[in-house]
């Protein structure tokens, strides 16, 4: 038998920049980054795709983007800002995906150009996927505009859309060229979206950083009430922990089944689907973390006092901890709990669920006791009903 063995590694590197008023002419961050990527004697193109909700809440932003891009040496804006809907529904819109691919083609955006996505996590996922599969990879820049995307999804390496009701069934691992977190965008969020994004900070604190969890407890009230300096601290630390995991855990493209950053997510994904995505991602994750924390305490893995602290923090942040869809139906497990099998398929291997051994310390299990899960749901339901 003859065989040729190929082996090579690829180095990925990108920066996450924290700023305010990114497109102000006095703000150098985006301009300096693009200038560092310019090619002498060659004009590169920029295609900007923005969430219509962001555009509507920031009057004049389109014109500001055009003026800002016009002064960047070595670049030209390929077209007026392309405005698309926002929210999770865009990831269910196959026609919109192909429209973006056609737009990249129409304006001649090549692999030396950049697609800039401005919006929440769903828009970043959609645009990143369209860029990643066009020309086998057009470089994209993320400009997240929600708490959830600035502290979690926007700083990672995943892109994707939903398919046949399955979350992120189609997608790629394609790191961005850069991420720019502009905290001014957070000032126009609805309070529910503001609070929803905090759930991912709670998640990463629970699995990685007990001191960060304690900080969240101490700052729960200002965070829930919309305090921007507190949120800027939260976003920075949460993004830092996420990036440390992506770069340091040895599996950035999730080739294995281990996925500790998905704590609370197995039920969250199913809850989102069953509510037709009317339940925000962070709200679903909050419920998922509550269920898994109480379940871990029933298993004897997690101290009951710690589980109570977790639920108390979620309540202080005015995040939900329960949903009726978790309840048994006619003596049978709920559709949410039945979703464990779908989650295993999504992992691509054996079932691997992240639970907690302590606040700040995650642990993996490969089995879930459905009877104990139902008991956890009933315990939370009783607490929720009496609070």
Q: What DSSP string runs through 167-178?
A: EEEEEEE---SE
Average pLDDT over residues 361-371: 90
Q: Which two tokens stand for residue 59?
A: 């009057």
Q: Which long-range contacts (CB under 8 A, 24 or more apart) does 221-228 make?
A: 221/316, 223/195, 223/198, 223/317, 224/195, 224/198, 224/316, 224/317, 224/318, 226/191, 226/194, 228/183, 228/186, 228/187
Could you give the C-alpha distances from 281 to 20, 278, 351, in angstroms and in order?
Answer: 25, 9, 22
Give the per-residue pLDDT at 257: 44
Give the per-residue pLDDT at 8: 85
Type and span of the H or E element at 129? helix 121-133
pLDDT over 60 (residue 351)? yes
44-58, 107-121, 317-331: least confident range:
317-331
Average pLDDT over residues 177-189: 97
- Cα gap 379→288, rounded to integer Å: 14
Contact yes or no for 310/293 (Cβ under 8 A): yes
Average pLDDT over residues 375-382: 92
Give the per-residue pLDDT at 251: 58
Could you give the C-alpha distances from 284 to 23, 56, 272, 321, in angstroms and in order?
Answer: 33, 27, 7, 8
**In this prediction, what percent of the chain has a pLDDT beyond 90?**
72
pTM of the model as a whole: 0.90
Q: Phi first, then psi: what are they for 282, rounded to 5°?
A: -65, -35
Give the per-residue pLDDT at 385: 54
- Residue 17 DSSP class: E
- Cα gap 97→302, rounded to integer Å: 43
Give the per-residue pLDDT at 287: 96
Q: Phi first, then psi: what are they for 156, rounded to 5°?
A: -95, -160
- Cα gap 228→66, rounded to integer Å: 28
Give the per-residue pLDDT at 11: 85
Q: Which two tokens stand for residue 54?
A: 């962001």
Shortest CA distance to 45 belongs to which of 29, 69, 10? 69
Give the per-residue pLDDT at 329: 76
The contacts of residue 58 (CB under 8 Å, 6+ apart) are 185, 188
Q: Which residue has the higher pLDDT, 168 or 282?
A: 282
Q: Which two tokens stand for residue 146?
A: 């929600």
- Cα gap 166→344, rounded to integer Å: 13
Shortest CA distance to 283 belongs to which of 117, 173, 148, 189? 148
């Amino acid at each position: 038998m003859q065989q040729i063995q190929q082996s090579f590694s690829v180095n990925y590197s990108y920066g996450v920049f924290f700023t305010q008023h990114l497109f102000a002419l006095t703000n150098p961050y985006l301009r300096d980054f693009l200038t560092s990527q310019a090619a002498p004697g060659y004009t590169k193109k920029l295609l900007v795709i923005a969430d219509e909700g962001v555009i509507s809440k920031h009057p004049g932003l389109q014109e500001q983007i055009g003026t800002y891009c016009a002064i960047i040496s070595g670049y030209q804006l390929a077209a007026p800002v392309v405005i698309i809907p926002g929210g999770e529904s865009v990831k269910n819109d196959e026609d919109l995906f192909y429209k973006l691919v056609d737009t990249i083609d129409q304006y001649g955006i090549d692999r030396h150009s950049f697609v800039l996505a401005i919006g929440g996590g769903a828009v970043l996922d959609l645009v990143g996927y369209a860029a990643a599969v066009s020309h086998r990879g057009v470089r994209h820049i993320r400009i997240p505009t929600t708490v959830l995307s600035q502290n979690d999804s926007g700083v990672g390496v995943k892109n994707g859309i939903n398919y046949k009701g399955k979350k992120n069934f189609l997608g790629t691992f394609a790191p961005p060229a850069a991420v720019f977190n502009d905290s001014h965008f957070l000032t126009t969020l609805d309070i529910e979206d503001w609070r929803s994004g905090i759930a991912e900070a709670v998640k990463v604190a629970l699995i990685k950083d007990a001191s960060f969890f304690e900080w969240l407890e101490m700052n729960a009230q200002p965070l829930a009430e919309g305090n921007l300096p507190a949120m800027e601290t939260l976003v920075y630390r949460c993004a830092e922990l996420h990036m440390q995991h992506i770069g340091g855990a040895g599996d950035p493209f999730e080739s294995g089944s281990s996925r500790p950053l998905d704590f609370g997510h197995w039920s969250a994904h199913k809850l989102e689907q069953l509510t037709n995505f009317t339940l925000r991602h962070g709200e679903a994750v909050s419920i998922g973390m509550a269920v898994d924390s109480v379940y871990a305490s029933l298993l004897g893995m997690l101290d009951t006092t710690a589980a109570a602290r977790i639920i108390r923090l979620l309540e202080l942040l005015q995040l939900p901890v329960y949903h009726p869809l978790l309840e048994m139906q006619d003596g049978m497990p709920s559709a949410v709990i039945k979703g464990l099998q779908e989650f295993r398929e999504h992992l691509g291997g054996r079932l691997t669920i992240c639970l907690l051994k302590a606040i700040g310390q995650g642990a993996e299990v490969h089995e879930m006791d459905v009877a104990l899960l139902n008991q956890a749901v009933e315990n939370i339901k009783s607490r929720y009903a009496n609070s």
